[in-house]
Amino acid sequence: MSESDTLRTSNGNLMADCRRILAEKEEMQTLYRSSLEKIENIGISLKRAQSVSTSSTEQHIDVTSTVRDTVYVKDSVHVNAMVFDYKDPWTEVSGKIESGEAALSISSKDTITQVIYRVPKKWWFFRWGTKAIRQRVSSSNPHNNIVYTDYIEIR
């Protein structure tokens, strides 16, 4: 796996930066089998693929919410339960505690933006050619952490 750097965007969201990996088709079949399987699962043959990019995020959020008593009718019987809700622009959590059981519903939204860019070679004030190709991945959800990212270009 390539090394990825974790950075913050100007608005405070998490971002990861990694180098491009160049791989021949034979190397894809031996070294990057999981990426090759992802390409095949999408329905693209290896000979038509140009690159594959993988990013992994992990979400962690601590929720504090008020629990309310409620009564509802289930099969003509009044049932006492406790319910709670939490909502922010990215996450919705709702739950119900009834008869010693807790039911929880979690919904999370995120937008992942990936940019592939060229880093030019530099000497003094002169720039020429390409030193490296890098990928930058940004998450819009502040509760998400980018665990890893890689970018493999197939030759």
- The strand pairing partners of 106, in sequence order, are 93
**In a 10 Å sphere around its CB, with 0-12 CB exposed, 13-18 middle and 19+ buried, how is residue 62 labelled?**
exposed
Which residues of the chain fall short of a pLDDT of 70? 1-4
Q: What is the pLDDT of residue 78?
A: 79
Q: What is the pLDDT of residue 48?
A: 73
Q: What is the pLDDT of residue 4?
A: 65
Write down how long the chain is: 155
pTM value?
Answer: 0.57
